[in-house]
Amino acid sequence: MKLLRKKDSKKINLYKKSVNLLNKIQKIKQNKTKNFKGKDYKIPIYDNSQLFEEAKLFSDWYAKKYISKKKISNINHQINRQIKFLLSNLKSKNDIFVHRDFHVSNLMKYKKQLATIDTQDALIGNRAYDLASLIDDVRFKSNKKLKDNIYNYYLRLNKKNINKEYFLNDFEILSVLRNMKIIGIFTRLAVRDKKKKYLNLIPYAWKLLEVRMQSNKNFNKLKNIFDLNFSKKMRNFK
């Protein structure tokens, strides 16, 4: 994190190294290993049912906190319906090793190279997920130019393996669903666990949602639900 608080040129360099590391991770083919007890462990699939339960944390915690009891049931039904719709529009197979929390706070310098920690929740899923986690990281703000540079660098490295149109679609959907999950988790931490410092990150998570929902028509209904029920003031509330 400290290394990224430097000039843009150095940031891009570090992010490129992060993408190089992600590429290595995504080449892992083994989906079986031994757990700490020495027993066989098969890495589960990051399927739509799990992605749904995670994104639904937005409804369960954030919406529930800010929407009136009279309206919450109907609004959450609408939101959850759109989550399922977005999941049904993912194009890529669940066949890539997914770290699941691949962002700058989980990257560290080790023997003059980048390494990652917190791999215990890894699953086999969509190749766009970890890139969305890295680029649209709620913990570290970055401008559009930097985001685009990182994204395009990843595409150049993987041009033989990717349908650009399908990949962008999945990247945007997974970024939105991930940040909905994060908003839900941070609200839960504040409400249930009294860890209110995480509320400070929610306004930026909303901005990330807004950016990714701009041009993909799959988000039209979800965007409309958000605009009708979550005001700008509410989105910026800490």
Per cent of the chain over pLDDT 70 is 96
Which residues contact residue 158 at a Cβ distance below 8 angstroms, ignoring those fewer than 6 apart? 23, 127
pLDDT at 202: 97
Q: Is 202 exposed, middle or buried (0-12, 13-18, 19+ CB in 10 A)?
A: buried
- To 10 degrees, what angle do helices 128-135 and 8-26 make? 160
Q: For 180-199, how does the pLDDT look when each residue is reduced to its tens digit (9 = 90+)? A: 999 999 999 999 999 999 99
Q: Which two tokens stand for residue 158?
A: 């993987």
CA angle 149, 207, 89 (to 5 degrees): 75
Q: How confident is residue 112, by pLDDT bands cut at 50, 70 and 90?
A: confident
73-90 residue pLDDT tens: 999 999 999 999 999 999
Angle (nearest 5°) at CA 155 between 213 and 47: 60
Does the pLDDT of residue 237 top 80, yes or no? Answer: no
Rounded Cα gap, residues 140 and 156, in angstroms: 24
pTM value is: 0.94
* Residue-number span of the structural domain to which 23 is assigned: 2-235
pLDDT of residue 33: 84
Q: What is the dihedral of CA 85, 91, 97, 101, to 10 degrees?
A: -40
Q: Is there a contact between 203 and 238 (Cβ–Cβ < 8 Å)?
A: yes
Question: How many domains in the chain?
Answer: 1
Residue listed under structure tokens 């843009």 = 8
With vertex at residue 86, the alpha carbon angle to CA 81 and CA 88, rounded to the nearest 5 degrees, is 95
- CATH number, residue 86: 3.90.1200.10
User: Three-state DSSP class for 224?
Assistant: helix
Summarize the confidence of residues 168-172 as an average pLDDT: 98
Q: What percent of the chain has pLDDT over 90?
A: 77
Residues 146-157, mean pLDDT to the nearest whole number: 97
Write down the pLDDT at residue 36.
Answer: 80
Q: Find all residues with CB under 8 Å of 117, minimum gap 6, and list them.
A: 106, 107, 108
What is the average pLDDT value for the chain, to the nearest integer? 93
pLDDT of residue 214 exceeding 60, the answer is: yes
- What tokens were used for 28? 């892992």
- Segment 17-45 shows an average pLDDT of 91
Q: 116-119 long-range contacts, Cβ below 8 Å, gap at least 24?
A: 116/21, 116/25
